[in-house]
Amino acid sequence: MKIALAQLNYHIGNFELNTQRIIENINLAKAKGADLVVFAELAICGYPPRDFLEFTDFILLCEEAAQQVAKHCVDIACIIGLPIKNDILEGKDLYNAAYFIENGKVKVVTKKALLPTYDVFDEYRYFEPNTQFECIEFKGKKIALTICEDLWNINDNPLYVSCPMDELIKQSPDVMINIAASPFNYRHDEDRIQVLADNARKYNLPLFYVNQVGAQTEIIFDGGSLVFDETGEVKAEMKYFEEDLQVFDLDEIQNVKNKYPAAERASDISQIHDALIMGIQDYFKKSGFSKAVLGLSGGIDSAIVCALACRALGAENVMAVLMPSKYSSDHSIKDALDLVNATGCKHEIIAIKEAATAFDSMLAKPFTGLEHNLTEENIQARCRGIVLMAMSNKFGYILLNTSNKSECAVGYGTLYGDMCGAIGVIGDVYKTQIFELARYINKDGEVIPENTIVKPPSAELRPDQKDSDSLPDYGVLDQILFQHIELQKGSKAIIAQGFDEALVHRVLKMVNQAEFKRYQTPPILRVSPKAFGMGRRMPIVGKYMA
């Protein structure tokens, strides 16, 4: 039996496009001699559809699209993911399901049993868990079909009290197939391979796994679909951050060594780079936009975002706005212009001194006798925000936010100023990773100016200002933040690792006090195991200080 894995980029709710791409790949798989073509979890509607699932019409459109797909399943079968109605009154109204389609008809319906409700997942909000399990018989083989999380209840820390494969294995299947929507983070590919390999070994069956690819607002899917033999050896690893369709012979997977070479493991930074480019591309394409604007300060964060945007959208579609203040140094303007020349993007220079002075004059009376402080610094940042939003409104640009994760974590940014934007490009990338990313971008030639990389970071909102005036050294800060945010460790556990006690308490206090700011920032492209946004839910007014 020849099995095709179709790794596609879906668009949530775009039934016409999704259906067209699925049918095209059915025909392509058929032309390649496949007997069965497998698509991802909720492929019909895209993942995650979230509260679209609460609309009856949305579910009807899913079914109509699936029936349209079925008409093309002649001389080839397919497996396709979609939400379906639960006809039993008790329980949730829907199932997360998969259709096995053969000869133009739905022959078997498989329902997802394990519904994740952690991090970015919230499936039990919508779906009823499956409790009945049935293998699929096709071409003399029995297929144990599972949906994403159904294979993750394995090893040392099971999240669920049941395991679908423990039930399916009782029917003596010949092969496992798992359809997934498994989001990217730079540590997830190795975890995914380990979990799937452990399933293949445990049940002594070959395993075919298909993931989707593409970005859905902040969530990024990296593809990397996989095939394992019954010993858990990776027999094939499909492309990352690209659509792909490959056909595999089940007999060869079981009996032929080195037939399908696996891909090389990519570095964390290269994965982050590719993920961010895909995130920008899909945010714009799926939202119907093409042109971006950002503030370009001469600093490393905005330089990185500008370079990524040029690679994602084309330099001709990126407008960089230089907005020097009276505190901006000559080298910052030069560094910004050097980047403009290196990327070829458009640019404007719009000084904010006049605007900031006007606000100082407007507020002179109520501020009489008070010293200049953070208030005046924030006014400058908000002047820049006004300029960028004006450019966005006037020319139809979409504003890219340039705040990094270290800044977002401790609140080192100005609401309605440098924290404004439609999408946060690097808000899940720590400052120390930003420097690595700059070197990676420059690996084939200088794009980010060397002076931008080596000079001390500064907001340039007061004379001789440096980030280090307000924040600990980023090398130490980021280690503490990672322990607290990604690993969810409290102050005692972090201090026990040797970090200064006063510093740990200070950093964690800043993180907690900045929660109100993060609630008002744009969605942030998720590249880490724990990103700010829908996967990290903290109260604003909570007293607990970990």
Binding residues for L-glutamine: 118, 182
**Residues tagged in the binding site annotation for ATP:** 295-302, 402
Q: Extract long-range pairs of 188-191: CB within 8 Å, 24+ residues apart.
A: 188/222, 188/529, 189/222, 189/224, 189/240, 189/265, 189/271, 190/265
Instruction: Work out the angle between the directed axes of helices 330-343 and 300-313 (0-180°, nearest 10).
Output: 20
Residue 373: Cβ within 10 Å count = 10
In contact, 249 and 243? CB cutoff 8 Å: no
Asked whether 127 and 83 are in contact (CB, 8 A), the reply is: yes
Q: Are 405 and 412 spatial neighbours (Cβ–Cβ below 8 Å)?
A: no
Q: Which of 545, 405, 404, 425 is nearest to 486 (CA)?
A: 405
Smallest CA-to-CA distance from 380 within 347, 412, 418 is with 418
Reading the block at residue 257, the tokens are 């060594």
Mapped onto helix, strand or coil, the DSSP state of residue 119 is: coil
Radius of gyration of the chain (CA): 26
Q: Which amino acid is at 13?
A: G
Task: State how far the alpha carbon of 285 is from the alpha carbons of 10, 200, 292, 441, in Å.
Answer: 12, 38, 12, 23
Strands annotated E in 200-299: 207-210, 213-216, 219-222, 226-228, 234-237, 244-249, 292-295
* Other C-beta atoms lying within 10 Å of the C-beta of residue 51: 11
Q: Tokens standing for 486?
A: 């990604």
Q: Which residue numbers are catalytic?
A: 41, 112, 148
State whether the Cα torsion 47-52-53-59 is positive or negative.
negative
Is residue 224 packed enough to be buried (19+ CB in 10 Å), middle (13-18) or exposed (0-12)? buried
Q: Which amino acids are annotated as binding site, given as ranges?
A: 118, 182, 295-302, 378, 402, 407, 517
**Paired tokens of 180:** 């997934």
- Interatomic CA distance for residues 246 and 37, integer angstroms: 9
Measured distance CA(116)–CA(122) in Å, rounded = 6
| Positions at the binding site for deamido-NAD(+) | 378, 407, 517
